[in-house]
Amino acid sequence: MLENHRTRLLIARKVPTAVANRAETEFHAFVTESDMDSWSVVDFCKKHEVPAILIGKKSGLQAEHIAALPSTVKIIANASAGFDHMDVAAARERGIVVTNAPDALTECTADFSMLLVLAACRRASEYERIMRNGWGKSFGMTEMLGTRVNGKTLGIVGFGRIGRAVAKRAQGFGMRVIYTDISRAPASLENGATFYASLDEMLPHCQVLTLHVPGGGVPLMTKKEFQRLPKGAVFVNAARGGLVDEDALYEALTSGHLFSAGLDVYRNEPNVDQRFAELDNVFLTPHMASATMETRDQMGFTALDNVAAVLDGRAALNPVSS
């Protein structure tokens, strides 16, 4: 039974058992059995006056929800790197700390990005379907050929934690790494990668392109950007679906301008544009870059670490400033 005077945290999304157990022990948390929606979160906070909330995409809090929260709420914690499902500025205006978990999913997301690169280059989805359909036909020297990864130039858009982790993995496969970001990284972090001051300048040099920047309202990759990639390039996105004009991507894939794509994120999740599912040269996954037991536990623990810090009167470990 919920004890109002002891409950210090509402966990509004389903979390791994280890995270739920720690939250219940440390914060006497109320842990939902299924993801709550935004207004249910607001109603719970009003009724039980909890000082902390751990939310997810379904329970994302926009300005109208934040305005309705009681003054007891001190922190809104996100167990993910992204925070595009909430209005950070509105929370800050009310003096509510917003946190995320930027480090917890770096390594697994980088691993998964390389999986997408390899799968897209080596026609993994086609080979797998052939085997599931019983194979039955040997392939000759000129049939079903992919494109090699070793020796290719990988362009990285966004050279933050994940971008740099992808660069290290790509270099292990013998790829040349180039990147673009708002500003050049310190030389100590480049590890041999070459900086380009703009996306337009970098694109013609990218035999493989991967995105590692936050999502936004305006697509980063439109018809113009895809056309600037060299013919036969491979496109990978494990960042945010909103970064891509999907009509332009579909055209680039069906026209033969792109060799293939590896996609983990989409503009209208979870209702992916079915045109991509019909293309042989696309490797598709359902937004699973961070989906390992170890990473999902760490994401939750990072959120709880931030809650503990704020409720103890200390600075948040991973505050979101914008």
Q: What is the pLDDT of residues 193-206, one digit of tens each?
A: 999 999 999 999 99
* pLDDT recorded at residue 18: 98
Is the per-residue pLDDT at 123 higher than 90? yes
> How many helices (H) and strands (E) would you count in the chain?
13, 12
Pick the catalytic residue from 93, 128, 269, 294: 269
pLDDT value at 187 more than 60: yes
Q: How far apart are CA 72 and CA 48, in angstroms?
A: 10
Among residues 176, 205, 228, 287, the one annotated as catalytic is 287
Look up 240 and say whether it is catalytic. Answer: yes
**DSSP-derived 3-state class of residue 300:** helix
Tokens of 302: 């990072």
From the list 240, 246, 267, 296, the catalytic residue is: 240
Quote the pLDDT of residue 1. 37
Can you give the pLDDT at residue 236? Answer: 98
* More confident of the two residues 103 and 235: 235
287 is annotated as an active-site residue: yes
Tens digits of residue pLDDT in 44-56: 999 999 999 999 9
Mean pLDDT for the chain overall: 95
Walk me through the domains of the chain, giving residue ranges and CATH numbers.
Answer: 9-104+293-311 (3.40.50.720), 106-284 (3.40.50.720)
Q: Residue 5 above 70 pLDDT?
A: no
Residues 6+ apart with CB under 8 A from 137: none
One-letter amino acid for residue 51 of the chain:
P
* pLDDT exceeds 90 at position 82: no
Work out whether the CA dihedral 118, 123, 128, 134 comes out positive or negative. Answer: negative
pLDDT at 3: 44
Integer Cα distance of 127 and 146 in angstroms:
10
Residue given tokens 């709880």 in the structure block: 304
Distance CA 245, CA 54 (A): 31
At 2 the pLDDT is 44
User: Per-residue confidence at 216, pLDDT binned at 50, 70, 90?
Assistant: confident
Q: Which residue do the tokens 């996609």 mark?
A: 263
Determine the average pLDDT of the residues in 98-112: 95
- In this prediction, residue 322 carries a pLDDT of 67
Distances (CA, A) of 116 to 26, 147, 235, 263, 264: 38, 13, 9, 7, 8
Digit-coded pLDDT (tens) for 218-270: 999 999 999 999 999 999 999 999 999 999 999 999 999 999 999 999 999 99
pTM score, two decimals?
Answer: 0.91
- Long-range contact pairs involving 168-177 (C-beta distance under 8 Å, separation at least 24): 168/110, 169/110, 169/111, 169/113, 169/114, 170/114, 170/117, 173/114, 173/149, 174/149, 174/150, 175/149, 175/150, 175/151, 175/208, 176/151, 176/152, 177/153
Q: What is the mean pLDDT of residues 133-158?
A: 97
Q: Is the pLDDT of residue 128 over 70?
A: yes
pLDDT surpassing 50 at residue 100: yes
Token pair for residue 257?
Answer: 């301008």
For residue 91, the one-letter residue type is A
pLDDT bin (cut points 50, 70, 90) of residue 4 is very low
pLDDT at position 114 is: 98
65 given a catalytic annotation: no
